[in-house]
Structure 1
Amino acid sequence: MNNLIENIIALEWDEFQKVNNEGGRTSCQNDWKTFQIMRRSQFLAWNEEMQESYHSDLVTTINNGRNLLTEKYARMMESTAPEKYQALKDKLPLITEEKKKLIERITQISIKWQEEFAREYPNISEQGRPIHADEDGPFTTSIETYERGELSTYSEKTLKLYNKFITQLLEENKNLSKIVVENTVREYGFASLDQAEKKIANT
């Protein structure tokens, strides 16, 4: 067990419990198992330097009275609930032009990876979020919007490490989306993506 990853997940879960939703608590705020699996699947795909940097982001912001999970979901509302976002945006930290460039580069690469994954594993892909932001709505958040929202909460240091990491994956012809989902299906007891794809197709 990676103690650093488990510490990150525990910190995020505590912060997630403090997120105030307009309609009250959401069901996912009571679903520790799914939260743990989804977040662990992501962080297992990262290198240790990225894990350490993001852990530092969390600790620093918590100590400064900020909640990165609240900020993440607020950022998503720019696409999912634009009018409500207007009332929140001035309370969010400003994002520098350097960070914006990094966020957009990473997001666009992530979308391409998601599209590739969906072509290869359509049944698994259909179980998750839609890919593109133009599919967003009040009750639907796309992978693109979620990704952009989460990246916006990372420090510039973490974003630079992330950017370096995905550049290396591109050079090695690896797909981060595929790596993360493979981690996820293994957490759910499948031996491989192919096994999970066939299981879903037959249900």
Structure 2
Amino acid sequence: MTMESKESVIRRIVKLEHKMFREIHTNTQGEKCKEREKLFILERKSVFKPLSYNTLKSYLNGLEDAIVEGRNLLKEKYLRMDESSNIKDMKQVDSNLKMGYERSKTQCDVEGPPDNLNSLDEEHKILIQKIIKIESKWQIELKEKYPNIFKTKADRSKGLNFEKYLKSELETYPPLTIEYYFQDVLNAEKEGRNLALEGYEYMFKELNYSSLEEVNKKDADKKTN
């Protein structure tokens, strides 16, 4: 049996995540909505592009399992990002989503177990902290090397904390995916690679830029004009 290509796995992952994305953004229409969806798809592809096949395949399996269980991993991520969340049952989801996203009434009315969010043991929580430590260093490197891109990006995020975002996302991953992801990050660090840089290089090339240097210069020129 021929192994599925990495590109095919990424396409399937993004397709499922896009479905979850649309379930959250239920009341947006028009060109702005289409552009938002296109940007979401590109950004997610750029996240997955540097990861190994094993990590991606494991996460795809986790997404498929989540759909069978009636879970929306993007919704769970946003809930985790909300420090004030205190979910006792799934009926509380709507009132706890304070990210400004449109919600699906169907999903928000779902009755479920007392806590339908992914639960992890201490070992995997420690792995997540190790991942965050390495990835945070990579983010600092990007800001130092390309300040015009990433300071602007930080301004647009309105103070969104990178570590909080990454932690919230990783906590929705299956335990095996976290283990594979940690190995990807650890191996990259040993090899002197920056996976965040690789992801952004892919994203900006898809936007028809030749390099991050070009984007950084363009943003600098905007500030001086």
TM-score scaled to structure 2, two decimals?
A: 0.76
What is the alpha-carbon distance in structure 2 between the residues aligned to residue 158 and residue 124 of structure 1?
Answer: 30
Decide whether aligned partners of structure 1 residues 103 and 14 sit closer, same or farther in structure 2, where only a CA change above 3 A counts. Answer: same
Q: Give the count of matched residue pairs.
A: 189
Q: CA deviation at 1:28?
A: 6.7
Q: CA deviation at 1:95?
A: 2.3
Does structure 2 retain, via aligned residues, the 8 Å contact 1:182–1:192? yes
What is the alpha-carbon distance in structure 2 between the residues aligned to residue 123 and residue 3 of structure 1?
Answer: 34
What residue in structure 2 maps to residue 116 of structure 1?
141
Does structure 1 retain, via aligned residues, the 8 Å contact 2:59–2:173? yes
Which of 61, 77, 80 matches 2:82? 77
1:129 aligns with 2:154: yes
Does structure 2 retain, via aligned residues, the 8 Å contact 1:118–1:125? yes
For residues 113-192 of structure 1, what are the structure 2 equivalents within 5 Å?
A: 113-129=138-154, 140-192=159-211
Q: Residue type of the partner of 2:47?
A: Q
Q: CA deviation at 1:178?
A: 1.1
Does structure 2 retain, via aligned residues, the 8 Å contact 1:74–1:88? no
Structure index of larger Rg: 2
Deviations 1:89-131 (A, max 9, x none): 863232211121111111111111101110011011023236x
Deviations 1:12-32 (A, max 9, x none): 0101122279xx769778711
Moved over 3 A (4+): 24-30, 87-90
5+ residue gaps in structure 2? Answer: 1-5, 90-113
What residue in structure 2 maps to residue 86 of structure 1?
86
SS in 2 for 1:94: coil
What is the alpha-carbon distance in structure 1 between the residues aligned to residue 154 and residue 167 of structure 2?
Answer: 14
What is the alpha-carbon distance in structure 2 between the residues aligned to residue 72 and residue 29 of structure 1?
Answer: 22
What residue in structure 2 maps to residue 133 of structure 1?
none
Deviations 1:32-51 (A, max 9, x none): 11011101111111111111
Identical-residue share of aligned pairs (%)? 32
What residue in structure 2 maps to residue 68 of structure 1?
73
5+ residue gaps in structure 1? Answer: 131-135
Q: Residue type of the partner of 2:8?
A: N
RMSD: 2.4
Does structure 2 retain, via aligned residues, the 8 Å contact 1:17–1:29? no
Q: CA deviation at 1:159?
A: 0.5
